[in-house]
C-alpha cells in the first residue's frame, strides 16, 4: 500500500482536504476538522491581502489547528483568484515554505516548478504537481504522460483534476487511479457528473 507523509500525518488512504481562502474563521475550520477533514489547502491566490506579515499570521493561526498545510498560488488560467507573475509567485512561495508542510504548483508552470521543487525538498517539504482540465477527461495514454511529466519534475504527489464529458469518464479515471495506486497520485472528476468520484475515491 502506498504511504505518503505530509507534516506529521501519514496517509495510507484518501483523506479529505479542505480549501481555505483566508476569510474563514478558526471555528469554521475546527468544525471541518471535527467532521473528518485531515489537511488544509491554503489558496493564497484567493487571500484578500498578500502583505507578507498578514499572510504569515494567518498561516500561523491555521497551524494551531494541528493539521498539515498545503500552500498553492493558482494561475488565473487554472481558476486562480488573481494572476501573479511567476517571479512574484516564487517569492511568495519562498516566504511561506518554512511555515507549511507542502506546496502545490501547476504542471503548466514548468519553469516555476523546476525552481520550487528543489527548494521544497531542501527544506524537507512535500511537493505536489497539479494538472487541471476544465473541459474534458483526456485519454488514458495522455493521463499517463501527465503523470510521468510531473514525476520527472520531482513531484512527491501528482494531482490530476479533470472534467467528465460522460458518465464513463468517472469510472475510467478511477480505474486509472487504481492501476497506479502505488504511486503518489490524487485524482478528481470535477463538476456535477464527477461528484461520485469524491466518495468512490
Q: Per residue in 5-24, is it b (16+ CB within 10 Å) or e — as a string?
A: ebbeeebeeeeebbebebeb
Per-residue CA distances from 185 to 106, 155, 159, 175 (Å): 14, 10, 6, 12
CA 69 – CA 46 distance, rounded (Å): 16
CA 50 – CA 201 distance, rounded (Å): 34
CA 140 – CA 175 distance, rounded (Å): 10
Strand pairing category for 126-132 and 157-162:
parallel
And the C-alpha cell for 16? 479529505
Active site residues: 132, 159
For the chain, how long is the longest CA-to-CA vector?
Answer: 47
SS3 48: coil
Amino acid at each position: 500500500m502506498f504511504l505518503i507523509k505530509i507534516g506529521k500525518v501519514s496517509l495510507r488512504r484518501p483523506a479529505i482536504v479542505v480549501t481555505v481562502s483566508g476569510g474563514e474563521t478558526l471555528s469554521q475550520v475546527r468544525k471541518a476538522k471535527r467532521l473528518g477533514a485531515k489537511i488544509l489547502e491554503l489558496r493564497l491566490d484567493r487571500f484578500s491581502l498578500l502583505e507578507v506579515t498578514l499572510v504569515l499570521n494567518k498561516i500561523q493561526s491555521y497551524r494551531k489547528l494541528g493539521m498539515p498545510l498545503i500552500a498553492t498560488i493558482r494561475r488565473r488560467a487554472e481558476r486562480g483568484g488573481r494572476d501573479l507573475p511567476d517571479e512574484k509567485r516564487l517569492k511568495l512561495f519562498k516566504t511561506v515554505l518554512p511555515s507549511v508542510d507542502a506546496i502545490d504548483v501547476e504542471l503548466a508552470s514548468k519553469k516555476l516548478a523546476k525552481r520550487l521543487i528543489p527548494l521544497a525538498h531542501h527544506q524537507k517539504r512535500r511537493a505536489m504537481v497539479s494538472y487541471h482540465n476544465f473541459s474534458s477527461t483526456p485519454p488514458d495514454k495522455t493521463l499517463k504522460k501527465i503523470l510521468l511529466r510531473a514525476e520527472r519534475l520531482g513531484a512527491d504527489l501528482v494531482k490530476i483534476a479533470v472534467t467528465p464529458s460522460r458518465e464513463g469518464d468517472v469510472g475510467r479515471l478511477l480505474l486509472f487511479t487504481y492501476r497506479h495506486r502505488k504511486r503518489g497520485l490524487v485524482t478528481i472528476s470535477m463538476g456535477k457528473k464527477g461528484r461520485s468520484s469524491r466518495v468512490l475515491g
